[in-house]
């Protein structure tokens, strides 16, 4: 370790008699029968450390400030704990108050708060049981993602966040400019804005996806992945959409749609197994507090084969369901959340991969099938969430790709380098995008995407 710091996680594994120094934030304090009990947490694990002092051993003017939220440093020795819930506790000898948290103003007192209230205190919600668990899982999941790809020989590539290609129409984009908004330069004899004087001499945006750039790397490094922030200016106030979210995008050369599905399934199973092995306490908490079927569902996903069905079959199932759909179902319609959830929650009761969507509802770069009306697209649907992964085999044939760019009414000149990749050393390749926060919702059972990202950005909200 870099610094000789004793985390609570580590202290809780020590044997009685071991000297210990603990740092953390007070969860609760109570004084009972001549003993002072202080619970602290330092974020290193779900469990709090119980600290006991003899009454009178802490000066009253200090003790009165040891309230919920205060930061303390306590040294003493570990002893066997007679109380239930922990096998050892810290017998305090000296307490230093590092930072008081006056109860009149500290917003997170002991009583339970709703997740909505906690969101307003984004600078303190991190100290609650729920968000402690959420962000430990988020950390472990990030690590597991890198580990999976690194173990499988994938190259990690950083695709740009600022982009001048209004590329693939994945979603509405945030424009980035240094132009004076009060005094926009205009083109001569026209009301059009003259972007030649803007920072990049061109309109610029925050990226909605790193896929197209990842393809450049796949066609040189074979297997690559991105894991970074993406932005969508979609004005959809749903529990599943953020304006800023993180995406994982693997891209594989010499890979078709079958290989893509195999990777998606193996990847999700690996991540869930990793969390079950490394975040057990946190997952048990989610299971007990938020989603009673969580552990069973995760076990099920890790051990069962994902269902795989063609889009046409999905449409047939939905048409025959007898449900009164809000959005009509017919061949050619995009699947809406209600349809996706029906397939995965009612029909199959496990993750489902739907492939072969109509070309009219999918992006231009997806590989055309020989039937002339479908493309090699795949969506992975998960119970409780709907789509968590969207991917495809990419069109590697120059003539077909140019035709599709025309069909989608996109300007060919914007895609000059993308087309160039098909002119020089083209190869079959495939990949997908996984919304990191959607996955976080899935593995924690949290129902609102705002509660699985440290600082949510949604229409009208970008605090902290
Ligand atoms: P949706 O239909 O749910 O809006 P999408 O079709 O726009 O999703 P893609 O463009 O395929 O999604 O993006 C890839 C993945 O990124 C999705 O499968 C999803 O997991 C995630 N994702 C997309 N939009 C958002 C968002 N606004 N906030 C969080 N995650 C998102
Ligand atoms: Mn969308």
pLDDT in tens, 192-211: 999 999 999 999 999 999 99
Pocket test for ligand 1, best of 435, 439, 451, 455 (most atoms within 8 A of CB): 435
pLDDT at position 461: 93
How far does residue 237's CA lie from ligand 1's centre (Å)?
A: 13
Q: Is position 91 within any domain? A: yes
- Together in a domain, 137 and 233: yes
Ligand 1 centre from 435 Cα, in Å? 6
> Using CA positions, which residue lies closest to atom 27 of ligand 1?
241
What's the CATH code of the domain at 349? 3.30.930.10
51-93 tens-digit pLDDT: 999 999 999 999 999 999 999 999 999 999 987 878 999 999 9
Instruction: Indicate the residue among 81, 109, 137 that finishes a domain.
Output: 109
69 lies in the same domain as 31: yes
Cα 87 to Cα 12: distance, rounded to the nearest angstrom? 8
Considering the domain architecture, whether residues 53 and 145 belong to the same structural domain is answered as no
| Alpha carbons 429 and 104: distance in angstroms, whole number | 60
Q: What is the extent of the structural domain holding 405?
A: 129-173+208-451
Q: Is residue 245 assigned to a domain? A: yes
**Residues 39, 155 share a domain:** no
Domain count, the chain: 2
Are 155 and 278 within one domain? yes
Whether residue 138 sits in one domain with residue 11: no
Q: What pLDDT is stored for residue 168 in this prediction?
A: 58
The pLDDT of residue 2 is 66
93 and 235 housed in the same domain: no
H/E run at residue 139: helix 129-151
Contact 138, 144 (CB under 8 A): no
The CATH number of residue 104's host domain is 2.40.50.140
Which residue numbers in the chain have pLDDT < 70?
A: 1-2, 166-170
188 located within any domain: no
For the Cβ of 170 lying below 6 angstroms from any atom of ligand 1, the answer is yes
- In 3-state terms the chain splits into helix, strand, coil percentages (rounded to 5) of 35, 25, 40
Residue 447 confidence (pLDDT): 94
For residue 178, being part of any structural domain is answered with no
Do residue 150 and residue 95 come from a single domain? Answer: no
Q: 384 CB less than 6 Å from ligand 1?
A: no
**What's the whole-model pTM score?**
0.95
Strand 244-253, strand 155-156: pairing: unpaired
pLDDT at 236: 82
Backbone φ/ψ region at 409: left (φ over 0), alpha (ψ -120 to 50), beta: left
| Residue from 424, 357, 365 nearest 219 by CA | 424
Ligand 1 contact, 241 CB (< 6 A) = yes
450: Cβ below 6 Å to ligand 1? no
Cβ of 438 less than 6 Å from ligand 1 = yes
Q: What is the pLDDT of residues 149-176, one digit of tens each?
A: 999 999 999 999 999 876 556 678 999 9
Q: Vertex 319, ends 315 and 321: CA angle to 5°?
A: 115
Q: Dihedral through CA 410, CA 412, CA 413, CA 416, nearest 10? A: 120
- If asked whether residues 144 and 43 sit together in one domain, one would say no
């Amino acid at each position: 370790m870099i610094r000789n710091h004793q985390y609570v996680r580590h202290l809780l594994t020590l044997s009685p008699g071991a000297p210990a120094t603990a740092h953390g934030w007070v969860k609760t304090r109570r004084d009972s029968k001549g003993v002072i009990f202080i619970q602290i947490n330092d974020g290193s694990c779900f469990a709090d450390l119980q600290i006991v002092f003899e009454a009178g051993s802490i000066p009253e003017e200090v003790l009165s400030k040891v309230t919920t939220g205060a930061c303390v440093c306590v040294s003493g020795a570990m002893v066997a704990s007679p109380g239930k819930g922990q096998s050892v506790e810290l017998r305090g000898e000296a307490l230093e108050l590092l930072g008081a948290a006056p109860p009149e103003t500290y917003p997170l007192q002991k009583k339970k708060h709703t997740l909505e209230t906690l969101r307003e205190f984004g600078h303190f919600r991190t100290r609650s049981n729920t968000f402690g668990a959420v962000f430990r899982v988020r950390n472990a999941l990030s690590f597991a993602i890198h580990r999976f790809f690194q173990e499988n020989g994938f190259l990690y590539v950083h695709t740009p966040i600022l982009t001048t290609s209004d590329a693939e129409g994945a979603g509405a984009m945030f424009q980035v400019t240094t132009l004076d908004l009060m005094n926009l330069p205009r083109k001569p004899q026209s009301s059009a804005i003259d972007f030649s004087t803007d920072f990049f001499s061109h309109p610029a945006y925050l990226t909605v996806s790193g896929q197209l750039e990842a393809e450049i790397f796949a066609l040189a490094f074979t297997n690559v992945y991105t894991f970074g922030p993406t932005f969508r200016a979609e004005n959809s106030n749903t529990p599943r959409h953020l304006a800023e979210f993180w995406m994982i995008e693997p891209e594989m050369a010499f890979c078709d749609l079958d290989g893509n599905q195999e990777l998606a399934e193996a990847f999700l199973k690996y991540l869930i197994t990793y969390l079950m092995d490394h975040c057990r306490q946190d997952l048990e908490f989610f299971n007990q507090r938020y989603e009673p079927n969580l552990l069973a569902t995760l076990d099920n996903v890790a051990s069962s084969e994902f269902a795989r069905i063609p889009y046409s079959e999905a449409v047939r199932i939905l048409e025959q369901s007898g449900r009164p759909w809000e959005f009509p179902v017919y061949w050619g319609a995009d699947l809406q959340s209600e349809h996706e959830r029906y397939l995965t929650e009612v029909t199959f009761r496990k993750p489902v991969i739907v492939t072969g969507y109509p070309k009219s509802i999918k992006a231009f770069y997806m590989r055309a099938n020989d039937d002339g009306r479908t493309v090699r697209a795949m969506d992975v649907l998960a119970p409780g969430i709907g789509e968590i992964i969207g991917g495809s085999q990419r069109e590697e044939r120059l003539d077909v790709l140019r035709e599709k760019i025309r069909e989608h009414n996109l300007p060919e000149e914007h895609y000059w380098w993308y087309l160039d990749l098909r002119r020089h050393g083209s190869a079959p390749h495939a990949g997908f995008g996984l919304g990191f926060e959607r996955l976080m919702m899935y593995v924690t059972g949290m129902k609102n995407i705002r509660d699985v990202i440290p600082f949510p950005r949604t229409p009208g909200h970008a605090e902290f």
